[in-house]
Structure 1
Amino acid sequence: MQGHIDSVTGFAIGGGFLFSSSFDKTVQVWSLQDFSQIHTFKGHEHKVMAVIYVDEELPLCISGDGGGGIFLWSTSVPMGKEPLKKWYEQKDWRYSGIHALTTAGNGYLYTGSGDRSVKAWSLQDGTLSCIMDGHKSVVSTLAAHDGILYSGSWDGTIRLWSLTDHSPLTVLGNDLPGTATSVLSLIANQNILVAALENGQIKVWRDDVFKKSTQCHGGAILACVMEGKWLFTGGWDKIVNVQELFGDEFQVDTRPVASIQGSSVVTALLCWQGKLFIGHGDRTIKVYYHGK
């Protein structure tokens, strides 16, 4: 799938569409029927770093950019050229924009920022509801599951926040041996938390207890996604590795299953109904059928 003119940065799926964000300052909309490109959301003045799909009151595509812009787009057909709503983070000297987005079905949009904070915004009117401070560097990835918001940072830690009152719960990763290495992607799935790191490792926690660290790439892991017991990771070494995650209440282990050799850096991954979408630094999106 070709349509972007710069690196792909993220994926979201909803309403029968695939949404892809890019350094080219756009979000492309693709049909999940035949993978054709059907619309382009334009308006960002900076690189679009993250994209999500939300269906709470209205079906929305939400994109965040490197200048702190947050844009809400209607996904109703025919799709419009202008965002339904947009607002901007307040800028300061440490500032480097939005790096991550997520929602949790509670009326808030959560952003991970270059100013080291996690912010909660009202999805209704875009007002800033809460700022969660604690990280010492860029908040690069967010995940929400079962009442908890997880934030990963370049400072090497993962912070857990209550989705009820946004209070801090605990910090993971700061007690692990070795020097801190940036957390670049997170998966929160049932009672399992997987973190993908800049040094090519994944770290796995079960019920917030550290279980395993595995070296699975020769460079930074920029994206990871899970479907069932299958874990997909990809990054600088241009490879997507497929691993089976298994174990019991006492231990968690991984088993290499397969790998896909690509021609460019892997920048985004998404699983949907037996298909694996891979976004690349060379602007392309590839779709693989991964079966059962």
Structure 2
Amino acid sequence: MNHSTSFNDSKSNHLLHSLSSQRSLASVPSLNSHSQLLNPSTTSHTCLTTLKPHTNSYTSSLTLSPKFLFTASSDREIKSWDLTLFHSQQPTTNNMVLVAGKGAVKSIVVHSDKLFSAHQDRKIRVWKITQQKYTRLATLPTLGDRVSKMLVPKNHVRIRRHKKCTWVHHVDAVSCLALSKDGTLLYSVSWDRTIKIWRTKDFTCLESVRDAHDDAINAVAVSYDGHVYTGSADKRIRVWKKREGEKKHSLVDTLEKHNSGINALALSNDGSVLYSGACDRSILVSEKGENGKLLVVGALRGHTKSILCLAVVLDLVCSGSEDKTIRIWRGTVEKVYSCLAVLEGHKGPIKSLTAVVEHCDHPSEGSFIVYSGSLDCDIKVWHVFLPSF
């Protein structure tokens, strides 16, 4: 299998900057206007604290559990932060830290007491989380998977002219992970242009979709109904589904509306809306039509450089950009979006985002916590307050 050449972090950053000037999508109508930025008196935000977990590396991925914020870095490190300490201004205590693999940790996801991490060294690692430590449960593909597939010639695929390996291996950096909504399946995508599906019960690789895209795959998202969305440097979003009675996923839809590489995908809570961010500076909003196909209804504009990450919490969309800002968006049933806030304070591009709703005493009020990781090596914790939630 031919695959794109692996980029190290410095080359990736150079490529990112070369794409940042690409023109926005003039052919797609805007769902927002600059006049829709709400008056500061109706919404407010503040930076609660700034974490400095690293000095020479950036935070490449963020994810939340009920009690912890987990951060992954470009220098192989995964760290947990006790969420109860952020408001007490003591977030640097009681941290658990592990170092694994070679190169950057590209993506992390959590389900129950397990943390899954994707690495630049082409592997996926599985960790059991306790209050005191991480315990490694497996490295994917597992030894059992490798040995069982190695003995059967049809399980071998060509990766270079004179080299083969079994189909359970990723052969380039694993760029992103996503879990099925019940946590029974793990989906991984890679710069090797493949999608792999793993059973989380025993970590077996169930399926590999070869040549899923024409270039490196950067993002994956999974809906409640089993649709799998992938975004690639080939400018395409592809939709995959295992139809009833079939054993493998097949391609059911392709979107080709972005005019540059896609960096991030996020789904609305009910799975009916897909948000995609790319180097063309726009966030496309796509809705599922009556035939199940995605229809692009418009774009969110406001960032001046590449969109690098997205996060959804309730009806809010958070976007992080190479322009060093975070924007918070909310849509209406009329498909009109307002930019509720622009979070400024980072000194570098925003590489990772996650968010969670904060419970309030008054049901008419909305309060959210947004976590952002930047190439400036800082993590910021933001409180966003919406009085008319």
TM-score w.r.t. length of structure 2:
0.58
Distance 1:29 1:91 in 2: 26
CA shift digits 1:107-150 (9 cap, x unpaired): 21100111111110014522110001111111111110132111
Q: What is the distance in 2 between the residues matched to 1:15 and 1:85?
A: 24
Q: 1:21 to 1:123 in 2, by over 3 A?
A: farther
How far did 1:248 drift? Answer: 3.0
Counterpart of 1:85, as a letter, is E
Structure with a larger share of its residues in strand: 1
Tell me which residue corresponds to 1:139: 262
Amino acid across the alignment from 2:116: F
Equivalent in the alignment of 1:285: none
Residue equivalent to 1:243 = 382
Conserved 8 A contact 2:189-2:196:
yes
Among 128, 136, 151, the residue aligned to 1:31: 128
User: Residue 220 of structure 1 corresponds to which residue in structure 2?
Assistant: 349
Q: 8 Å contact 1:184–1:221 — kept in the other structure?
A: yes
Contact map agreement 1:3 1:37 (CA 8 A) in 2: no
- Alpha-carbon distance in structure 2 between the residues aligned to 1:103 and 1:225: 16
Following superposition, the deviation at residue 91 of structure 1 comes to 5.3
Q: 2:127·2:135 contact (CA, 8 Å) conserved in 1?
A: yes
Alignment partner of 1:49 out of 149, 170, 175: 175
Offset of residue 90 of structure 1: 5.0
- The letter of the residue matching 1:25 is R
CA distance in 2, matches of 1:37, 1:235: 27
CA RMSD of aligned residues (A): 1.8
| Structure 1 residue ranges, 4+ long, deviating more than 4 angstroms after superposition | none
Listed as ranges, the gaps of 5+ residues in structure 2 are 1-97, 142-168, 332-336, 358-367
Q: Among 14, 30, 35, which residue is 2:111 paired with?
A: 14
Alignment partner of 2:99: what SS?
A: coil
* In structure 1, distance between residues paired with 2:108 and 2:188: 10
Measure, in 2, the Cα distance between the counterparts of 1:55 and 1:241. Answer: 28
Q: Secondary structure at the match of 1:111?
A: strand
Structure 1 residue aligned with 2:328: 204
Work out which of the residue numbers 67, 75, 81 in structure 1 matches 2:200: 75
Structure 1 residue runs without a partner (length 5+)? 251-292
1:190 is aligned to: 314
Distance 2:227 2:212 in 1: 18
Cα gap change, 1:123/1:50 in structure 2, threshold over 3 Å: closer, same or farther? farther
Deviation for aligned residue 1:15 = 4.8
Query: Could you tell me the percent identity over the aligned residues?
Result: 23
1:172 aligns with 2:172: no
- Report if aligned partners of 1:202, 1:216 keep a CA contact under 8 Å in 2: no
1:237 offset after TM fit, Å?
Answer: 0.9
The structure, 1 or 2, with the larger RCO (C-alpha pairs under 8 Å, 6+ apart) is: 2
